[in-house]
Amino acid sequence: MKFIANHLVTIHNLSTAEALVLGEMAGLDPALVYDVIADSAGSSRMFQIRGPMMVTGQYDEPTATMTTHLKDLDIIGKFAADLHCPTPLFNTAVQYYYAGVAQGRGSQDTGAVCAVLEKLAGIERKG
């Protein structure tokens, strides 16, 4: 069950980041995007938990670090492969966590996957 739960956490963190970055690229304030989506049908528990840190861009008080999460991702990936279970969303999401560690964000919360997408989008946070 832990593998399945962390599989979803991985995807939902990235989808939260993607939605917030999409909003930023559209010129919307991330706080507004969070406030509107948090109680909507499009929300998720990870949106509600990690969304606020993504809005502020503060990832230095981790509940789960990017580096620790990579270990879980490797275990989950092997588990799924051993079962011959297709995991296309998970497999795609994993790459952004590896990119976060490569960017020096290994000790930050997994919510820093938002900063990874922002960097790819050319968004530079103020402050």
pLDDT in tens, 52-86: 999 999 999 999 999 999 999 999 999 999 999 99
Per-domain residue ranges for the chain? 2-121
Rounded to whole angstroms, the Cα distance separating 25 from 15 reads 15
What is the CATH code of the structural domain delimited by 2-121?
A: 1.10.1040.10
Residue 12 half-sphere exposure, CB side, CA atoms within 13 Å? Answer: 16
Cβ-Cβ contacts under 8 Å for 55 (sequence gap 6 or more): 20, 30, 31, 33, 34
Give the residue numbers marked as catalytic: 2
126 pLDDT band, cuts 50/70/90, is: low
Quick one: which H or E segment has residue 71?
Answer: helix 66-82
**pLDDT higher than 80, residue 32:** yes
**pLDDT higher than 80, residue 102:** yes
> Taking the alpha carbons of 14, 85, 98, 74 in that order, is the dihedral positive or negative?
positive
pLDDT given for residue 109 in this prediction: 98
**pLDDT higher than 60, residue 127:** no
pLDDT given for residue 55 in this prediction: 97
pLDDT tens profile 38-49: 999 999 999 999
In Å, what is the CA distance from 14 to each residue of 9, 46, 63, 83, 111? 8, 9, 16, 24, 8
125 pLDDT band, cuts 50/70/90, is: confident
